[in-house]
Amino acid sequence: MSKKKKIVLFSVIGICIILGAVFLFNDLSNPPAVFSPDGLYKITYNRSEKRVTLLKIETDVKAYTVLSDTISSDPVFIWSPNSRYYVQTCKIQDGGVSNLLIDVKNGLGMAYGTDDVKGELEKISDTADIDIDRYVTPVKFLDNQNLLMEFDNTHVSGWYIYDLTNRTAREVHVIN
* Distance between CA atoms of residues 165 and 176, nearest Å: 29
Q: What is the mean pLDDT of the chain?
A: 77
Which has the closest alpha carbon to 106: 164, 157, 146?
Answer: 164
* Distance between CA atoms of residues 145 and 151, nearest Å: 20
Q: Which amino acid is at 9?
A: L
- pTM (two decimals): 0.71
Domain assignments of the chain as residue spans, ordered by start: 1-30
pLDDT (tens digit, 9 = 90+) per residue, 128-175? 456 666 778 889 999 999 999 888 776 778 888 988 888 888 888 877
Length of the chain: 176
Q: Is the pLDDT of residue 69 over 50?
A: yes
pLDDT at 92: 76
Q: Is the pLDDT of residue 48 over 70?
A: yes
Element (H, E) at 116: helix 114-124
